[in-house]
């Protein structure tokens, strides 16, 4: 099986400018994901190539410096705020195919998940093979019970919430069902079904790979970045 690890990293970012190359504990954010991918057993076993899809020459140069392959840049129409990750993946797979490089399996690794480790990639891929899955996606346990969440009206009134959830609110959190969320750290997908259905992940034969919450930070704004940096520098997480 030939595996493509694809790291999508466009230049634009409104909430945290240049976040994909912002320095996190001494190295660019994207470098954490590249290094995790290159440390995977799939690379050591010569099964996996690590590519970055970007519209930026600066990001491309940094990615190459850290060992990723960047043989082409993403076209401008796939680098806007409205462009989807799915479109970037399709472009990368088709362009690589035109270059004579075809893959059986895609592992999508978002650079905004810098605490994801190489063992997560290896474990998720082992699950993918064991289940003969169409797709595996990473999840993490929710920090708080979903029974404690609500929508708010303009008047901010909570009367209905407390009335409708009275029993759950009387229940200890540890006695409520454990629930999980998609964390965006990795998705594994068979390329043939990705092209056939254009869905990521596929809606059947999809399995969850469970990651500890501490590894599942998703950097969207400065507070997320600072949280990740704290763990890297003070908690000896890595």
At residue 197 the predicted structure's pLDDT band, cuts being 50, 70 and 90, is: low
Which pLDDT value is given to residue 236? 59
Q: What is the mean pLDDT of residues 73-92?
A: 84
Q: Which of the 8 DSSP states describes residue 99?
A: T
Give per-residue pLDDT as tens, 109-143: 999 999 999 999 999 999 999 999 999 999 999 98
Given this model, what pLDDT does residue 98 score? Answer: 96
Identify the bridge partners of residue 162 per DSSP, sorted by sequence position: none
CA-to-CA separations, 97 to 22, 39, 53, in angstroms, rounded: 32, 25, 15
pLDDT confidence tier of residue 237, bands split at 50, 70 and 90 = low
C-beta separation of 231 from 200 below 8 A: no
Q: How much is the pLDDT for 203?
A: 67
Is a pLDDT exceeding 60 seen at residue 150? yes
The average pLDDT across 73-84 equals 81
What is the rounded distance in angstroms from the CA atom of residue 184 to the CA atom of residue 110? 7
The pLDDT assigned to 86 comes to: 87
pLDDT of 234 over the 60 cut? yes
Percent of the chain with pLDDT over 70: 94
Lowest mean pLDDT among 78-92, 97-111, 151-165, 170-184: 78-92
Q: Average pLDDT, stretch 173-197?
A: 86
The domains found in the chain, sorted by start residue, are 3-142+179-234 (3.90.550.10), 143-177 (no CATH)
**Which run of H or E residues covers position 191?**
helix 191-197
Read off the pLDDT of residues 159-184 as tens digits, 9 standing for 90 and up. Answer: 888 888 888 888 888 888 899 999 99
Per-residue pLDDT at 238: 52
Given a cut of 60, is residue 201 above it in pLDDT?
no
Omega before 201 within 30 of 0, i.e. cis: yes
**pLDDT tens digit string along 14-69?**
778 889 999 999 999 999 999 999 999 999 999 999 999 999 999 999 999 999 99
Q: Do the beta carbons of residue 226 and residue 173 sit within 8 Å?
A: no
Average pLDDT, whole number, for the chain? 90
Give the span between the Cα atoms of 144 and 114, in whole angstroms. 23
Q: What is the pLDDT of residue 13?
A: 75
């Amino acid at each position: 099986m030939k595996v493509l690890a694809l790291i999508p990293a466009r230049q634009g970012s409104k909430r945290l400018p240049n976040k994909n190359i912002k320095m996190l504990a001494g190295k660019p954010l994207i470098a954490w994901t590249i290094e995790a991918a290159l440390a995977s057993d799939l690379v050591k076993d010569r099964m996996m190539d690590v590519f970055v899809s970007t519209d930026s020459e600066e990001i491309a140069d940094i990615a190459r410096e850290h060992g990723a392959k960047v043989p082409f840049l993403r076209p401008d129409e796939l680098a806007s705020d409205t462009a989807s990750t799915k479109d970037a993946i399709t472009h990368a797979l088709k362009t690589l195919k035109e270059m004579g490089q075809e893959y059986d399996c895609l592992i999508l690794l978002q650079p905004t998940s810098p605490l994801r480790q190489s063992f997560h990639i290896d474990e998720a891929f082992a699950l993918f093979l064991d289940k003969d899955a169409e797709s595996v996606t990473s999840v993490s346990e929710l920090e708080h019970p979903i029974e404690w969440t609500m929508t708010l009206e303009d008047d901010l009134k909570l009367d209905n919430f407390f009335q409708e959830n009275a029993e759950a609110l009387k229940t200890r959190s540890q006695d409520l069902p454990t629930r999980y969320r998609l964390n965006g750290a990795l998705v594994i997908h068979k390329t043939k079904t990705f092209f056939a259905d254009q869905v990521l992940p596929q809606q059947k034969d999809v399995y969850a790979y469970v990651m500890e919450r501490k590894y599942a930070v998703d950097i969207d704004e400065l507070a997320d970045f600072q949280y990740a940096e704290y763990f890297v520098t003070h908690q000896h997480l890595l």
